[in-house]
Copies of this chain bind each other. A is one copy, B any other.
Amino acid sequence: MAQKPSIPKGTRDFSPIEVAKRQYIISVIKKHFERNGFQPIETPSFENSETLMGKYGEEGDRLIFKILNSGDFLEKYNKFLIEIILDILSSHISNLKENGFEFYLGEKYNYFINENLPKIIKERFNKIFGSENKINEIQFSKDLWFYLKNYTDTYSNIEDLEKNEKSVGVSIFGEFYYKLGTKYVGNYISEKALRYDLTVPFARFVVQHQNELEFPFKRYQIQPVWRADRPQKGRFREFYQCDADVVGSTSLWQEVELVQLYDAVFSDLKVEGVTIKINNRKILSGIAEVIGASDKLIDFTVALDKLDKIGEDGVKAEMLAKGISEEALFEVQPLFNFNGSLTEKLNQLRELLASSVEGTKGVDELTFICETVEELGLKSATLNLDVTLARGLNYYTGAIFEVAAPETVKLGSIGGGGRYDDLTGIFGLKNMSGVGISFGLDRIYLVIEELNVFPETVSNVTDVLFLNFGDNEAKYCLKVIRELREAGVNAELYPDKAKMAKQFQFAEKKGIKYAVIVGETEMQQNIFGLKNLISGEQQNVTLQELKQTLLK
């Protein structure tokens, strides 16, 4: 009966202190989202499959967790199996009838009457055989077999059977097997899937509720998402996303504000020295245009994105292998050594992309954002133009953001985002530009842990434990405890009259700072024995003093 308990790979339990730390990060992000005028929404954990499928590419589809149709799944599934058999049988019987074969259900089947057989199946069966004979599910395979056997008996050997294009037996089994083994089953048995990110559900939300919303609509959403990724260090199958997006305006002020928002959040979290990398999809397109390889844009950006990992030679080799010419690489040579101030970089890009209308528009946009941000100033973050930034995703059309953790912490990206000009088009609402950013809660947690900048006050440990010396004392204590709780103290009573040492040990192990001792004497004298479990100091105090100490 006893099972060794465990949780699915890639998922986590969170202890009280972990919950407290995560809640702290979330509360800071949330605070700044609201300061910036974003309002929260929440969407269901699972969406209809068609809402999610096809939105994240083939790889993404594979990583979406699908939910089995519930309740009557098996009944539906049985019907499905019978439907397939009937479909196949039906077409073959028609073929055979056309070729002069005769089929009938003999009298001996009449006793296989089963009123429980679903009406739809009976109707289908009757239609195929043109009779009112009834048949039950178990008997059905026998009948099928019977007809197959009759048919195959007309061939003297397997070679004949194989030569015949209408080889019923072979193809029935083959088709049946094939249909079962393919997606057909998958689609039939699952119509819902767990949220893969917050962007697609947001787009769905906007379209579904468009008449209730004011545009531009600024929303934030902090909820878990699920991905059937191979679990590895720092990558989980269930994790939180914290997204802020604006939909319904193309104004570049949004980008400016989002950069400031990143800066405000990380400064508040004491994660100083992050780099906010910015790029623009139009610049990437412009580059591809200039080198005469617009059709190879994805190859180009994917290769360029590897500059840090495989170096200039590696990237060039990959580009050449993908069919980008030597001349093209010569044209974009500055990109392989792209340094200097924001203004210098922008000037280089403007020159490089002078011949590209789209590229120049990208440079214009970036210039506005970077100059404005520089003028307004950032608290602790640095804005950096990174022309290798492509973020894999192909739906960005304007700005692309990524936040790198402070250099002392080797943790890579702790946030990202960008602008997508047609956020809601897939759900039928055209011309809605969206721009947004996301915070990576798990990575940020690790960064704060490594920098050791969680505030000391982040904790949900009880402030004081009242020891239990018996029912009378406990009742007396509970009255005081109630007063303390109302005043804002987290207080608890040890539930059992256990040995004092055990009760003290309990408090210490839990990290509770104070213990209160109330025995008969204390009750009579209207005082409280207050022990500081860190210093070991103990003194008798009045209720007033007790409150004052605990409320500090």
Contact = CB atoms under 8 A, between A and B. Distances in A.
A8 B485 contact: no
Contacts of A479: 376
Interface residues of A, number: 130
A351 interface: no
B427 A5 contact: yes
Given A141-B177, A253-B495, A478-B256, A3 B426 contact: yes
Contacts of A181: 74, 77-78, 81
B47 A8 contact: yes
A372 B475 contact: yes
A110 interface: no
Interface in A11-40: 11-16, 19-20, 23, 32, 34-37, 39-40
A458 to B, nearest CB: 12
A180 interface: yes
A145 B152 CA distance: 10
Nearest to A512: B37
A523 interface: no
B66 A68 contact: yes
Nearest to A182: B74
Contacts of A209: 13, 15
A205 interface: yes
Interface in A160-202: 161-162, 169-170, 173-174, 177-178, 180-183, 185-186, 189-192, 194
A7 B43 contact: yes
A170 B3 CA distance: 40
A73 to B, nearest CB: 7
A238 B426 CA distance: 26
Contacts of A212: 15
B162 A489 contact: no
B149 A158 contact: yes
A63 interface: yes
A492 interface: yes
Interface string A249-266: 111011011001000100
A411 to B, nearest CB: 23
Contacts of A219: 16
A207 B13 CA distance: 12
Given A4-B428, A74-B181, A490-B34, A238 B45 contact: yes
Given A11-B44, A34-B490, A45-B226, A16 B39 contact: yes
Interface in A122-168: 138, 141-142, 144-146, 149, 152-153, 158, 161-162
A535 to B, nearest CB: 21
A326 interface: no
Of A35, A169, A375, A490, the most chain B CB neighbours within 10 A belong to: A35
A65 interface: yes
A51 B2 CA distance: 11
Given A13-B205, A44-B13, A50-B3, A35 B67 contact: no
A493 interface: yes
B194 A170 contact: no
B48 A6 contact: yes
A62 interface: yes
B13 A42 contact: yes
A70 B251 CA distance: 41
A66 B63 contact: no
Interface string A47-70: 110110000000000111111101
A8 B214 contact: no
A551 B510 CA distance: 40
Nearest to A484: B35
Contact of A15 (B19, B41, B185): B41
Nearest to A424: B5
Contacts of A251: 495-496
Given A16-B219, A492-B36, A426 B2 contact: yes
B44 A7 contact: yes
Given A34-B490, A35-B491, A149 B152 contact: yes
A461 B40 CA distance: 10
26 contacts: A3-B427, A3-B428, A7-B48, A8-B46, A13-B209, A14-B43, A16-B40, A35-B490, A35-B491, A37-B462, A37-B490, A37-B492, A45-B194, A63-B71, A65-B70, A66-B67, A71-B228, A81-B180, A145-B170, A153-B153, A180-B180, A214-B510, A250-B496, A253-B495, A264-B485, A375-B475
* Nearest 10 Cβ contacts at the A-B interface: A37-B492, A70-B228, A2-B428, A11-B44, A251-B495, A16-B39, A14-B42, A35-B485, A66-B68, A19-B40
